[in-house]
Structure formats: structure tokens, C-alpha cells
Amino acid sequence: MDILIQQLFNGLTIGSVYSLVALGLTLVYGILHIPNFAHGALYMLGAYVTLTTMLLWGFHYWLAIAISVLIVGLLGVLMDRLVFHPLRNAPPIHDKIAAIGILLFLEALAQIVWGADYRSMDTPYGQVINVFGVTLTMQRILINVGAISVMILLYLFLKKTFIGSTIIAMAQNREGAHLVGINTNKVAMLTFMISGGLAAIAASLSAPINLVFPGMGHLVILKAFVIIILGGMGSIPGAIIGGYIIGFSESLGATYISGEYSDIIAFVLLVVILSFKPKGLFSREGF
Amino acid sequence: MTSLLGKRITVVGLIVAACVFPFITSNLYMLHILTLAFIWMIAVYGLNLLAGYTGYLSLAQAGFFAIGAYSLGLLTVKAGLSYWLAFVLACVITSAIGFLVGLVALRTREHFFAIYTLCVGYIIYLVIDKWDGLTGGVRGLIGIPAPANIGPISFQNPLSQYYLILFFLLLTIFVMYRIIHSLSGRTFIAIRNSEELAQTIGISTMKAKLLAFVLSTFFAGLSGALYASFIRFLGPDIAYITVIFDLLTYLLVGGIGTLAGPIVGTFLVVTVSQSLQFLQDYRMLIFGPLLTLLIIFYPRGIAGALQDWIAKLSSKKKQTPPKQRKNGKGAYVHSQTSEKKVKEG
């Protein structure tokens, strides 16, 4: 029973990270219909920037995260301006390939700047606490609390503010949004900014319990793709629910089925889903 | 007519150059690199048929390459079959798996297809990596035999392997040429340009797409089998995502959806990365942005840009409006520009 609770908590933690990454991906997909393969590289850079600012300038964990969010967000904007904006009328295959090009570049860049070693990130929240016989570390609790509050903030931003609703409007109908006077270019840039920021938060929160290395984004981004297909491409609640589904099935699968193959679970799940529902579990109806 | 003659001369010249190359250089390393490039070219042709001509970006190509390679390796090393029987079986097994995957994968479209195949490729990698008992896992598979003798010809030395692989490459190009200029080839291009339209004029798109998918996996399997017997060692890395990115780079630099593209791109990228050896781990620092810039400014790569340039020159010479080029390569540009006009207008 203890193992079950422990694994459920682990699933919740993994799921929170996955959800944050998938949210960024699904936002960009909703607006621009680009499967942004470079999102994994943004995730990786987010962790590295946090790590560097902490080590180099001795910034506090939270301040480092804030700087990382800003830098990676701006990088996302730059990506939109330099690459995806010029490609907006190209056939869809071009966006995908351009995104792959960015991914390769950023990964090689990280390898040059920070080296290929695996690094660990220190956290001020390393304490271990016991709740009802279950061992929890503060960092893991922080991941859950942090991720959920970011999700709530994002929801409020999208639903309650004017700028947020322009994003939703553009996701629903690009031409329509343009007609009523929304500056679609600005909205696209804003979306990339948020998307990059979400990746940076997810990476910075989860880095202390994982390791930081140039290829750290690979698996996460692949699973994020699984999640947004699971939840319907472009759907925000879908990304959150999908993230937790994958998180739980992985942590439970690792304990009760096979630890070695736990990474494969998400992909098998996706292949099965797409085999029966070629357009994903929930077809997209706006947000 | 003259241009046709010129084309034929170029093709014959290239084949002759490839044949006499080993006699010009005595550098075995160069020969090794070139042979390896030929193997990649075959795989890139497979990818080109699907992504370039049919418009479906399959990211599982590296996985199928690995299936071909591992089939040959396992059949010869563990099952002890004769080489050429294993060789044929490796191609058949890869195509059969390709058929089954394609049957399901092709129900999805565009982004879903790319992501689906990416996941299939990753599953193949993980299975090879984790299934220690069969594939040897991370330790890899060693002791794969070189191609067995055919009659008096032996394939033990690098020179004969070079010619063997060159033979398969030429065969691939010939088959590709025939496919592209056949009715099925036109069908693939029709699907790329508009799947709905193709369906409307009575093309069974599923059948055609499946054919393209199986053919592309067949060539992936073929090049994988050749790779296995050339390198004679296999590790799970050959199924990893970086391999498919490499293949995509070759294809895009050369020109996606052109017949010459895979040769031009693979040859250029492989030779350039040889001279950039010191960058080995960081070569993506150059190729990544190159890939992105190419897709923005020259979406059809070097071969495509050259084609457009020649077409422009000849139309200027004649002082007549440019002829509508009859082959499918022209149709791509045409559909793209008209699509843009519609969107901007």
C-alpha cells in the first residue's frame, strides 16, 4: 500500500512536469499549427540557464528561474520571428523540418557551451519529510505546487484578461481574429514567449530531481507530443489531463509491469490510440 | 533534345567517374567514406519517395534502416543462414513490417503522421536497446559476415564491396527513375499536391500511399542490410533519432522531391563533414541553421535551385513564356506558388 501511494505521488510529480511542457507545445500548435520539435531544446536550455545563473552569480533558486523564463521566452520569440514567421505560408512539411533544424542547432550549442557531461542542480529545498509513512522531498512537493499554480495562473490569464483572450481568439480562427483587429503577429510572439517560459519553468523545477545534459529534452518532448495528441492538439485542458495520464501510467507501469520498459509505455499508448482514432482522442473544439 | 542528350552525357559521366574512382585514389579511407555515403544514399532515396514525392514525412526511416540491418545480422550470426538468403529475407522482413506499420500509420495525416512515425521509430530503438537476449542490447551485435561470393567474385576486400554497393545504388536510382515516371509516380505526386483532389479524380489514395510507404521501407531495409555487412558491427544507435535527422539533412541539402537530390546532398554533406572532422560533435552547429535557412530560402535544395535556374535561363533565351514543365518536379513549384497567391490574395 505504501508503495502504491509513493508511486502515485511520483506519477503526480512526473505528470506535473509533462503537463507544463505539453502546455507550451499545445499553445503554439493551437495558434500556428506548428508541431514545434524545437520545444525540447527550449526545455533543455531552461535548465542550463537556471543552473548557470545559480553557479556563476550565486543567484537564489527563484531568481534564477525567473531569469531563465525570461531568456528562454525571448529565445522563443526570436524563433518565431526568424524562422516560423517567414515560413507561415509554406507547406506544413517545411515547418517541421525547420523546427528540427533549430533543435539540432540548440543542442550542439549547449554541448559547446556547457559540455556533454551530466550535471546535477542543487536546490535549497532538499529536506525530506514524512507524511503518513510516505517519504517525500520538499523539491517534489514544490514541483507539484509550482506546476499547479502556474497552470491556474495561465488559465486565469487566458480566460480573464484581454490579451489572453486574443490568444484564444486566434486559436479559434486566425482570419477572424485578424478581421476584428487583433495583431496576429504580436499574438504569435506572445504565445512563443509563454511557451518558452513554460518550458523553462518545467525544466528548472524538475532539474534538481533529474540531471542536466544536452539530450535531456529528447524524451520529454517526445512524450509531450504523445500527450497533446492524447489530449487533442491545441487543447489546454487536454494537455493537462494527458500529462497526468502519462505520468501516472509511467510510474505505475515502472513498478508493476517493468522498470526497464517504462519509457516505452507512453509511445505504445500513443500508437494504440492513433491506430483507432487517427485524429487523437478528443478532436479539437477550441479551448 | 539537346538538353536530353546533355543529361544523358552527365549521367554516363557520373557513372564512369564512380567506376574509375578507386583507380584514381589509393586512399582506402576515402573509399570507405564513399561506400558509406552510397549506403546512405539508398536510404535517402527511400525517404525521398515518401517525404519528397508523396508528401508524408516519415520519421521512422532510421528504425526501418535498423530493422534491415539487424535482420541481416541476426539471420546470419544467430540463425546461420547463408548470406544472400539472409539478405533477401532482411529486405522482405523490413517491407513486411513496413506494410503493417503503414496500414495503421497512413490513417493519420500531416503532423499526426510525423509524430506517429517518430514514436514508431523510438519504439524500434527502445526494443533494440532493451531486448538483450535477441539483439545484444547496448553491447551490440558483432561478427556479421561480409557478402558471400557470387560464383568466382569475392566480396572480401574493400574494392569489391565498393562496386557491389555502387551496383545496388545504381539499381536503386534506376528503379526510382522508373517509379517516378510511371503512373504510380504521378499518383504519388498527385497525393502530395492535394490528397482531396487526387481522391476526387478516382485515385485510391490509401493503396498508393501504402505502396509508397512499403517501397520506402524496402529501400531503408536494403541500405540497412548493406550497412550491416559493410561495417560488420551493429549497435542500437543506428535506430536513434539522430540518424533520421542526418538522413533529412542529406535529403534537404540535395533537394527534397528531386531525383538528383539524394546523391548531391549526401555526397556534399558527407564530404564537407569529413573536412570538418574537428567539429565532429558540433557539426550540427552548422548543419542545424543550414537546414533551417535552406527550407526558408531554397525549399527544394541545391538540385531544385539548379533546376529552377536552368529553367529560367532557357526561358530567357527563347524569349517565350516559360513552358509548363511536364515532369512532376515542376508541378511542386507550381502548386506552391499558386497556393501562396491564394493565401495572400
Asked if A106 and B288 come within 8 Å (Cβ–Cβ), the reply is: yes
Q: Is the pLDDT of residue A268 over 70?
A: yes
Give the chain B residue whose CA is nearest to the CA of A116.
Answer: B281
Q: Is residue A227 part of a domain?
A: no
Q: Which chain A residues are within 8 Å of B115, Cβ to Cβ?
A: 35, 225-226, 229, 270
Q: Which chain A residues are within 8 Å of B248, Cβ to Cβ?
A: 97, 100
A97-145 pLDDT, tens digit each: 888 888 888 888 888 888 878 887 777 777 777 776 677 777 888 888 8
The shortest CB-CB distance from A94 to any of B105, B283, B299 is to: B299
Q: Is residue A74 part of a domain?
A: yes
Distance from CA of A83 to the nearest CA of B (A): 7
Distance from CA of A193 to the nearest CA of B (A): 20
Q: What integer is the mean pLDDT of A40-61?
A: 87
Q: Where are the alpha helices (DSSP H) in chain A?
A: 2-32, 39-56, 61-79, 92-114, 138-160, 162-172, 174-179, 184-206, 217-230, 236-256, 262-276
Distance from CA of A264 to the nearest CA of B (A): 6
Distance from CA of A274 to the nearest CA of B (A): 7
Domain count, chain A: 1
Q: Is residue A254 part of a domain?
A: no
The shortest CB-CB distance from A86 to any of B122, B290, B296 is to: B296
Q: Is the pLDDT of residue A67 over 80?
A: yes
Q: Is residue A286 part of a domain?
A: no
Q: Is residue A253 part of a domain?
A: no
Give the chain A residue whose CA is nearest to the CA of B125.
Answer: A264
A132-185 pLDDT, tens digit each: 667 777 788 888 888 889 889 988 898 888 888 888 888 888 888 888 888 888
Q: Give the DSSP H or E segment for B201.
A: none
* Mean pLDDT, rounded, of chain B: 80
Q: What is the pTM of this model?
A: 0.80
The Cα–Cα gap between B66 and A225 comes to: 23
Residue with cell 509513512: A133
Q: Give the number of beta-carbon pairs within 8 Å between A and B.
A: 128
Q: How many C-beta atoms lie closer than 10 Å to residue B202's C-beta?
A: 6
Angle at B176 between CA B171 and CA B179, to 5 degrees: 125
Q: Is the C-alpha dihedral spanning B258, B260, B262, B267 positive or negative?
A: negative
Asked if B284 and A105 come within 8 Å (Cβ–Cβ), the reply is: yes
Q: Is the pLDDT of residue A39 over 50?
A: yes
Q: Is residue A145 part of a domain?
A: yes
* Mean pLDDT, rounded, of chain A: 83
The shortest CB-CB distance from A98 to any of B105, B245, B295 is to: B295
Instruction: Report the Cα B241 to chain-centroid distance in Å.
Output: 15
Angle at A78 between CA A77 and CA A81, to 5 degrees: 90
Give the fold, CATH level 3, of B30-344: ABC transporter involved in vitamin B12 uptake, BtuC (1.10.3470)
Q: In terms of residue numbers, what domain contains A134?
A: 19-216
Q: Is residue A273 part of a domain?
A: no
- Please check whether residue B185 is in contact with residue B59, taking contact to mean a CB–CB distance below 8 angstroms: no
Asked if B55 and A91 come within 8 Å (Cβ–Cβ), the reply is: yes
The Cα–Cα gap between A216 and B220 comes to: 28
pLDDT band at A283 (very low <50, low <70, confident <90, very high): low
A191-244 pLDDT, tens digit each: 899 999 999 999 888 888 888 888 888 888 888 888 888 877 778 888 888 888
- Residues of chain B with pLDDT below 70 are 1-6, 277-281, 318-345
The Cα–Cα gap between B340 and B318 comes to: 27
Tell me the angle at which helices A92-114 and B110-130 cross, rounded to the nearest 10 degrees.
40
Q: Is residue A75 part of a domain?
A: yes
